[in-house]
Amino acid sequence: MDLLLLAIQIPLMLLAAPLVQGAIKTTKARLQSRRGPGPLQPYRDVLKWLSRESVVSDQASWVFRYAPFVYAGAILSAAVLVPTVARRSPAAAVGDAIVFVALFALARFWLAIAGLDTASNFGGMGSSREVAFAALIEPALLLVIFAVALPVGSTSLTALVSEGWPGAARVIALCAFMIVIIAETGRVPIDNPDTHLELTMVHEGMLLEYSGRPLGVLHWATHVKQLAVLSLASALFLPWGMAPGSGATALALLVGLLAWSAKLLALGLVLAAIETLFAKLRIFRAPDLIGAASVLGLLAVLTTFVVEH
Amino acid sequence: MNELGLPDTFALAPIAVMLLASALGPLFARPLARLARLLPSLLLMLAGSLGVFVAVDTLLTGRTLTFPGWAVTPYAAVSLRLDPLAAFFLLVISAPAVAVALYGIGYLDAAHDGHVPQPRTATDALLGAFLASMALVVLADSVLAFMLAWEAMSLVSFFLVIGDGRRADNRRAAYIYAVMTHIGAAFVLLAFLVLARNGGSLDFAALRAGADSLGRWERHGVTLLALIGFGSKMGLIPLHVWLPRAHPAAPSHVSALMSGVMVKMAVYGMARFVWEFVAPVPRWWGEALIVIGVISAVMGILYALMERDLKRVLAYSTVEHVGIIVIGLGVAAAATNRGHAEVAALALVATLAHTLNHSVFKGLLFLGAGAVQTGAGTRDLERLGGLVRRMPWTAGLFLVGSLAIVALPPLNGFVGEWLLFQSLLGLGSTAGTVTTATLVAAGAGALALTGALALACFVRAFGTGFLAQPRSEHARQAHEVAPTMLAGMALLAGATVVLGVAPLAIIRLLRSVTQDLTGAVAHPALGGSGVFDASQAASAYAPWLLIAGFVALGVLPWLIARLATGRGRERVSPTWVCGVRLEPRMQYSATGFAKPIRLIFQSLIRAHHSHALERQVVPPSGMTVRYVEGVHPIYERHLYQRSVTLLMAGSRYVRHLQSGSIRMYLAYLFVTLIVVLLVAR
Amino acid sequence: MDLLTMAQAGTVVDIAALGMLALGLAGVAVKRLEVAIVFLALQGVLLGVATGAAALAEGGWRAWAAFGIALAVKVVAIPVMLWFVLNRVTARHEVESVVPLKLAVPLAIGLVLFAYWVARPIASDTLGGQHGFDAPNALPAAMALLLLGLFTMSTRRKALTQVIGLVTMENGIYLAAVAATRGLPIAVEFGIALDVLTGAALMALVAHEINRMFVSIDTDRLRSLRG
């Protein structure tokens, strides 16, 4: 079962990730009355970068060269842990929700030191902001996981998948998680994925010195990261249509796949709407928003106990 | 030791060899200079290896060895005992000792530029005595033995901090250290005396036996006394003020032991109190420890982020990790109190595993900082940079240490934190009360905050210290350090990897300890949240599978790219900085890197900064900006300064007693005698 | 070969203790230093009698050694030394007290009563058993001597009288040791005796020096040295 799910999940994550990005961008363009580049554009971009020559800074050390490899490895490993089509983590024996968070941290660490490696002030700026925001995102993410995990008594991603309708605690946790998603995927109102303006950029700053194939891999992995957190949201809070955890038929898996796509589309729509409705926050106002996610997470824990005990 | 036919007293061999190493260096210093250079280090490596052997053997067999005591007076004996808990801490002492001794060979050779203020023989002799005194602390089985070893440990480390006493900052650090450590020792002694009064003897056995008959208020009092006493040795906030001064002042390999090992002696003492001498501890104890631990962890790492001296960064990070360890102790104590033995066992395993792990990676990082100081001549982050090219091995090893301390998989730091999260979850889901659950969740959130801040801290330390362009002539002239130093660091780096990928080995080692203290074993499939259990509903972490998946998935995009678009090409070109020439001062400074965090957490850390424009006398640039920043010393100002002021005022009052008249003094004696007789009757 | 039975020795110790107490009280009342020194020497003699009785009853070289020490130090060494210093340092051989004698004597008697009050229960506990002599007055007397010695030390101006107080105190301790344990371990006894001898010698020397510096042995003059 696990091997089958793995065989589905790995290509699914790699192949669908740019599409999710494209779908969000297209939706956003339509919402803003633009035509937009079409949902397939991220594929073209990634392919283009993969085929291009890489220009490496003369200041760069081996850290800069290995960082994209570690980033991709960590993000993809994390993505494989998330339950998608079935109520079961394809690699529950390898790691749980905490390993998932730690893998994101591993990716972040390497990208941040790679940003510093080229002696560019933009890279340093990106790293500095990234790690500062992460300091707020990680507690929020963990509190959400704790809120969901406390009644279950386990952090296994399989165990965390919601049974039926989410209760009040999960709804609050979902609100917190939406903020985490926005922060983790570098979206408005915290970061702007479409800009290279030095005053605003966070994630892009660290990538600035990358080009060609490594840049392609980094972007691709970033799309996967976005897909992974969205999938985690759908597994934790919107479990409808997922195939059963064991003994699923091919049909159930297919239904699960369709349900998963529909939920991702819905979540993408929400993200696009948020990006359209809100302006980017001033960089030092962003912590207030992310801090609110932590408070919501704690509130979710409280609710769990008040409601369920 | 029976399988190998060794006598029980063999367990004391490590201590004997440590003391031998301490004595031999000075003895041979003159006649056999070459021998004196190597012999103490080699003996210490031997002692460390013996210690690891004895510790692991004791842990695996779970046996307790007692050694006949030496009765100094009828009431106070010096006696030793090696039980699994002591053996585990012997392991924590011995394992880094091997690496530190090896490192010391090259480090002390290179110590000509004054950052090791003592001659080699003195440092070696003190190092041996330091290790022996710590080993005796954990082996002590009576109050007298414990306090003797405890004070010896403080005294020897005091001399290691003060060096030859020529440098004012070392003297000051040592002075503050001495004051704080003695205040701590006084509290510990007081706690012991209360226990001894109850138990009727100064032997630990009597203290253990008397734990049940402690009165309610005695229990509260002893707990509080032990917390303050051991807390000051651990460097818990606000008793931490000595730590960031004293640890960096010592020679780096000693710093590694002070930060990595010595603070753990207080953890050991605390564990003895919680599970033996005051068992069962008062109910508030577990929660209080969690809160105290959270404060130390979060504040410690925030202060670490504000420092620019690499060793001070590491010292503050020790405050953070001590906080994490105390959270673990708190969870274990709370679970014990509520009767959830399995959760307590899990939390204890988490705590002790993190204790060992921290001693390994913090040791590695301090040795790395020493290598930076040796190779580049400074440890000021604002004057470093670019060392990855000039000191590639040191850089690589420091990176391993950084990855481990940030608790990233698959290194050892992650194992401890993962276990701690699991035990927090275990406590939260078994507690069943809103307050405990919320506290536990907040603890988990704080732990995550700490982890993320630690990531920022070590990205900053490694990124500005080792990467990009050198920021000073010192860093430009840096050179790689001696092979023995690298080997010492490599030993510890290897240990971080081994402990990271074989977490089950640690759990196996700790089985007898948790059995002794909590009456349960943290075994796979624990309640709802299993540990390292492959069954689907349980939390799991499998390092080997993760590494395999990580490598395979990391390679995959490249493979796809290769297949889709052929071989990649690469060209080298200057960094793009908007078309001007790249200069070292363009890159982010360590101070600048931490600025967003400083702004976000301003209300917690009370940082201050100011800048002033200064007219430059020499052209071309007309003006320069002087930027000053720092952290307000709030503890010193609000806690310590006030206490000192109060003390001085009190002293002035008491001074009236000092009349200078012998008759008055005799009258005091007289009155005291009368009062004592009255009371005694 | 016991020349005295335990009971007889106990009676001797008891009487000696009462005699010492009387001498101690008288020592508070006297005005002339010479008399005080003589009384001190007499105390030593009585202490010697007590230890001698103990030695006769107990036998063994340790008891005899204690007897020897008591005689050598208490009867010979200290009084001779004090006598010598007395004649060297000061012309006025009068006791100078901050508490008038009229008040000092009732206070001293009060101290003796206090000592009896404190020591009686202890005395009935320990004495007459296996370890001590059956001498009901010995321990209270010892306690009283201790208090009187300290009282003397803290109310007298001259350094010499303070030495007298110190030796009185020590006599009390010695007596207590003899009465309660039939003699301490020899090392301890010897140590105490040596301590007191050294102390007395030092104080005598200091008195001599104070006299040289301040033309008086009034320790109150030392107050001007205060920082």
* Confidence grade of residue C1 (pLDDT, cut at 50, 70, 90): very low
| Predicted confidence (pLDDT) at residue A109 exceeds the cutoff of 70 | yes
CA–CA separation, B425 and B420 (whole Å): 8
**For residue A308, is pLDDT > 70?**
no
Peptide bond before residue B238 is cis, with ω within 30 degrees of 0: yes
State the amino acid at position A214 in one-letter form: P
- The pLDDT of residue A267: 93
Distance from CA of B148 to the nearest CA of C (A): 26
Give the distance from residue B77's alpha carbon to the nearest chain C alpha carbon, in angstroms: 22
Q: What is the pLDDT of residue B225?
A: 94
Instruction: List b or e across B138-175, with b for residues whose CB sees 16 or more CB atoms inside 10 angstroms.
Output: bbbbbbbbbbbbbbbbbbbbbbbbbbeeebeebeebbb
Q: pLDDT at residue A68 above 70? A: yes
The more confident residue out of A83 and B24 is A83
Indicate yes or no: CB of C117 within 8 angstroms of CB of B681: yes
All residues of chain C having their beta carbon less than 8 Å from the beta carbon of residue B667 are 154
Mind telling me how many Å the CA of B675 is from chain C's nearest CA? 11
With an 8 Å Cβ cutoff, is B406 touching chain A?
yes
Which one of C150, C162, C222 makes the best mutation probe of the B interface by having the most chain B beta carbons within 10 Å?
Answer: C150
Residue B500 has pLDDT above 50, yes or no: yes
CA pair distance A290, B425, nearest whole angstrom: 23
Q: For residue A53, which of B656, B572, B142, C98 has the smallest C-alpha distance?
A: B572
Handedness of CA C197, C200, C203, C209 (dihedral sign): negative
Structure tokens at A279: 């302006």
From C220's Cα to the closest Cα of chain B, the distance in A is 6
Nearest 5°: CA angle at B436, between B430 and B437? 65
pLDDT exceeds cutoff 60 at B1: no
Question: How high is the pLDDT of residue B621?
Answer: 58
> Is the preceding peptide bond at B280 cis, omega within 30 degrees of 0?
yes
The shortest CB-CB distance from C223 to any of B661, B674, B678 is to B661
Residue C100, judged by CB atoms within 10 A of its CB (0-12, 13-18, 19+), counts as exposed
| Mean of all residue pLDDT scores within chain C | 77
Provide the CA C4 distance to its chain's centre, in angstroms.
26
Alpha-carbon span C142 to C116, nearest angstrom: 10
Task: Please say if the pLDDT value at position C97 is more than 80.
Answer: no
pLDDT tens per residue across span B68-122: 777 766 667 888 999 999 999 999 999 999 999 999 988 887 765 555 556 777 8
Which one of B197-211, B347-361, B597-611 scores highest in mean pLDDT? B347-361
Contact A131 B553 (CB under 8 A): no
**Which of C125 and B192 is assigned the larger pLDDT?**
B192
- pLDDT value at residue B179: 92
B658 reaches C (C-beta below 8 A): yes
Checking if the pLDDT of A232 tops 50, the result is: yes
Name the pLDDT band for B609 (thresholds 50, 70, 90). confident
- Per DSSP (E only), the strands in B375-427 are none
Residue A133's contacts (CB-CB under 8 Å, 6 or more residues apart) are A183, A190, A191, A202, A286, A287, A290, B596
| A193 vs A20, residue with greater confidence | A20
Q: Pick the more confident residue, B172 or B519.
A: B172
**Cβ atoms B19, B47 nearer than 8 A:** no
Q: Identify the pLDDT of residue B528.
A: 36
Q: B577 to chain A: which residues are within 8 Å by CB? A: 120-121
Q: Is B459 in contact with A127 (Cβ distance < 8 A)?
A: yes
Q: Which chains touch A (3 or more CB pairs under 8 A)?
A: B
| B351-368 residue pLDDT tens | 999 999 999 999 999 999
Scanning every residue of chain A, which has its alpha carbon at the shortest distance from the alpha carbon of B464? A116
Residue with tokens 């229990």: B219
**CB contact B68 to C (< 8 Å):** no
Q: State ipTM.
A: 0.95
pLDDT tens figures, A198-211: 666 778 888 888 99
More confident residue, B520 or B174: B174
C183 band by pLDDT with thresholds 50, 70 and 90: low
* Cα dist from B378 to B311, B382, B393, whole Å: 11, 10, 18
pLDDT tens track for B301-345: 999 999 999 999 999 999 999 999 999 999 999 998 888 888 899
Q: What tokens appear for C47 in the block?
A: 């202490």
Whether the CB of B468 is below 8 Å from some CB of chain A: the reply is: yes
Biggest CA pair distance of chain B: 102
Lowest average pLDDT, out of B140-144, B425-429, B591-595, goes to B425-429
The closest CB to that of B660, out of C117, C121, C226, belongs to C226
User: Measured between alpha carbons, how far is A128 from A124 in angstroms, rounded to an integer?
Assistant: 6
User: Which chains does chain B touch, 3 or more C-beta pairs < 8 A?
Assistant: A, C
% chain C with pLDDT above 90: 3
Least confident of A17-31, A73-87, B201-215, C47-61: C47-61
Tell which residue, B70, B262, B237, B264, has the closest CA to residue B152: B262
Q: Using the beta-carbon criterion (under 8 Å), do B421 and A93 form an inter-chain contact?
A: no
Is residue A309 scored above 80 in pLDDT? no
Q: How many CA atoms lie within 13 A of B22 on its CB side?
A: 15
3-state secondary structure of B77: strand
Percent of chain B scoring above 70 in pLDDT: 92
Instruction: Flag whether pLDDT at B526 surpasses 60.
Output: no
C-alpha dihedral (A21, A26, A29, A33), degrees to nearest 10? -160
Average pLDDT rounded to a whole number, residues B175-186? 93
With tokens 């010592």, the residue in question is B250
Mean pLDDT of B615-627: 65
Looking at residues B614-634, what average pLDDT do you find?
Answer: 70
Identify the pLDDT of residue A199: 61
What is the least distance, in Å, from the CA of A117 to any CA of chain B?
Answer: 5
pLDDT of residue A200: 64
The answer to whether the beta carbons of residues A233 and A266 sit under 8 Å apart is no
Using the predicted structure, report yes or no on whether residue B182 has a pLDDT greater than 50.
Answer: yes
Give the phi and the psi of residue B68 in degrees, each rounded to 5.
-55, 140
Taking CB atoms and an 8 Å cutoff, what residues of chain B touch C226?
658-660
How does strand B570-573 pair with strand A54-57?
parallel
| Both tokens assigned to C34 | 């010479």
Most confident range, picked from C44-48, C83-87, C187-191: C44-48
For residue A215, CA distances in Å to A65, A118, B265, C183 come to 11, 15, 49, 95
| Chain C residue with Cα closest to B655 | C227
Asked whether the beta carbons of B474 and B377 are under 8 A apart, the reply is: yes
CB burial class (10 A; 0-12, 13-18, 19+) of residue B30?
A: exposed
Q: Looking at residue A46, what is its pLDDT?
A: 94
**For residue C182, what pLDDT band results from cuts at 50, 70 and 90?**
low
pLDDT level of residue B530 (50, 70, 90 thresholds): very low
Segment C107-119 shows an average pLDDT of 87
Restricting to B residues 596-615, those with a Cβ less than 8 Å away from any Cβ of A are 596-597, 599-600
pLDDT at B467: 92
Of B464, B554, B560, the CB nearest to A116: B464
Residue B205, pLDDT > 60, answer yes
Please state, in angstroms and rounded to a whole number, the distance separating the CA atoms of residues B534 and A138.
26
For residue B31, what pLDDT is reported?
63
What pLDDT is stored for residue A198 in this prediction? Answer: 60
- Res. C127: pLDDT tops 60: no
pLDDT confidence of residue B524? 46
Which residue among C153, C222, C226 sits closest to B666, beta carbon to beta carbon? C153
Q: Which residues contact A83 (CB under 8 A, 6 or more apart)?
A: A89, A90, A157, A158, A161, A231, A235, A242
Whether the ω angle into residue A244 lies within 30 degrees of 0, i.e. cis, is: no
Chain A hits for B429, CB-CB cut-off 8 Å, are 149-153
Residue B159 clears pLDDT 80, i.e. is over it: yes
B–C touching, 3+ CB–CB pairs within 8 Å: yes
Tell which residue, B453, B595, B324, B458, has the closest CA to residue A137.
Answer: B453
Q: Which residue of B has its CA nearest to A156?
A: B539
Chain B nearest-CA residue for C227: B660
Q: Answer yes or no: is pLDDT of C212 > 70.
A: no
Distance (Å) from the alpha carbon of B465 to chain A's nearest alpha carbon:
10
Q: Which of chain C's residues have a Cβ under 8 Å away from the Cβ of B658?
A: 226
